[in-house]
Amino acid sequence: MALIQGLAAHAAGAELLPFRYDPGELRPQEVEIRISHCGVCHSDLHLISNDWSISQYPFIPGHEIVGTVVAAAPDVTSLEVGQRVGVGWQSNSCGLCEWCSRGMENLCPSMEATCVRRNGGYAQAVRVNARFAIPIPDAISSEGAAPLLCGGITVYNPLRAHGVNPSSRVGVVGIGGLGHIALQFARVFGAEVTAFSTSAAKEEEARALGAHGFVNTRESRAVRDVAGTFDFILTTINADQDWNSYIQSLRPTGTLCFVGVPPSAVSVNAFPLVAGIRTITGSPIGSPHLLREMLDVAARHGVKAQTEVSPMAKVNEAIAKVKKNKVRYRAVLAN
Ligand code: NAP
Ligand code: ZN
């Protein structure tokens, strides 16, 4: 079996270096995908710097993968060699537990992540369980599809699960890779959408992506000024904030939903939760079924990741730019 060539972190926070590994024999239910594009999600940066204490080195990051099936185990019936597919954060699940049988594989206790303790998509190829290789609709380009496989599904799932609709007032906090897609899906669901951003320069683009309103969170009272406004706030940032002011900006029965994980514990006053039946929750990626639905909705409603494409070999430059919050809005590596 041929070695797979990629770019790996060899220690916490280190620059990525060329790395080859032997994937062994193709296992039952597995497909091998020749990668054309891979998005740079901020979770890759967390894994490279071992922020979540789950990284094992060396490893190849990358979990917003698009490519072509080049080999399939004999028992794979759902995909064919030559088919264009995408893979997100999850690459396997047990297939048997309550959550898998309910079609919520992203909650499977034995879920395997595409680039945690295994090698991901900053590479020529990757192997995954065929259930997690999702066909890409023809209407979506490969570079445009890659960011949808993690960033897209992560925002689509909670907007959908919490019933966002034309009567909803939705806030999206952080207009980066996830946030710029969230603005578009919230708009497609018919909501009135507000972007919360530290970057005043993003206002015009946020409005073009679907936002009706823009809150510059660098202004000291900006979040307090929108108190009592939102039914649903989706926060995509990985920074600490005054979360009490976000809770205050919810209407009664409103929900603050975390998809980005702030480094410190989230500390809020219980009173506004009690008085207004407000909820704090979170959401992890989405199931293969929802990935198919999300890609279909994106294709039919023109939801598009805005990308900056560079060759795979320029991975360290791309990562540095994500770190500085300079990418508009998703870096994508291409082979
Ligand atoms: P990203 O592209 O780097 O965007 C993050 C955005 O957060 C930035 O563009 C910026 O937006 C804002 N931001 C950055 N630093 C900030 C600060 N100090 N204070 C306030 N806002 C700040 O990252 P991403 O790829 O969208 O990922 C965002 C987070 O989601 C990451 O932590 C990632 O690990 C997590 N994630 C979670 C899931 C899940 O399943 N729940 C899936 C994928 C990713 P503005 O310029 O508009 O302020
Ligand atoms: Zn991701």
Instruction: Report the percentage of the chain scoring pLDDT > 70.
Output: 100
**β strands within 125-261, DSSP E:** 125-129, 134-135, 169-173, 192-197, 213-216, 230-235, 250-258
Strands 250-258 and 279-282: parallel
Q: How many domains does the chain have?
A: 2
pLDDT digits (tens, 9 = 90+) for 268-314: 999 999 999 999 999 999 999 999 999 999 999 999 999 999 999 99
pLDDT digits (tens, 9 = 90+) for 3-16: 999 999 999 999 99
Residue 102's CATH number:
3.90.180.10
Residue 214's CATH number:
3.40.50.720
Is 172 touching ligand 1 by the criterion CB < 6 Å?
no
Q: Would residue 205 count as lying in a domain?
A: yes
Pocket test for ligand 1, best of 38, 40, 43, 89 (most atoms within 8 A of CB): 43
Is 236 touching ligand 1 by the criterion CB < 6 Å?
yes
Residues 113 and 135 in one domain: yes
Report the largest interatomic distance among the alpha carbons of the chain, rounded to a whole angstrom. 62
Is 260 touching ligand 1 by the criterion CB < 6 Å?
yes
pLDDT at residue 129, rounded to an integer: 98
Residues 27 and 65 in one domain: yes
pLDDT digits (tens, 9 = 90+) for 100-120: 999 999 999 999 999 999 999
Residue 297, phi then psi, degrees to nearest 5: -65, -45
Which residue owns the Cα nearest ligand 1 atom 16?
239
Q: Would residue 164 count as lying in a domain?
A: yes
Residues 128 and 164 in one domain: no
**In which band, very low, low, confident or very high, does the pLDDT at 1 lie, cut at 50, 70 and 90?**
low
Is 321 touching ligand 1 by the criterion CB < 6 Å?
no
Task: Give residue 173 CA to ligand 1 midpoint distance, Å.
Answer: 9
Return the ligand number nearest the Cα of 121.
2
Q: Would residue 287 count as lying in a domain?
A: no
Q: How far apart are CA 104 and CA 97, in angstroms?
A: 10
Contact (CB, 8 A) for 138 and 78: no
Task: Give residue 101 CA to ligand 2 midpoint distance, Å.
Answer: 24
pLDDT digits (tens, 9 = 90+) for 191-237: 999 999 999 999 999 999 999 999 999 998 999 999 999 999 999 99
Q: Would residue 148 count as lying in a domain?
A: no
CB atoms within 10 A of CB 78: 12
Residues 136 and 182 in one domain: no
User: Distance of alpha carbon 180 from its chain centroid, rounded?
Assistant: 11
Residue ranges with CB less than 5 Å from ion ligand 2 = 41, 43, 150
Contact (CB, 8 A) for 284 and 169: no
Domain span including residue 267: 153-282
Residues 34 and 118 in one domain: yes
Is 198 touching ligand 1 by the criterion CB < 6 Å?
yes
Which residue owns the Cα nearest ligand 1 atom 33?
43
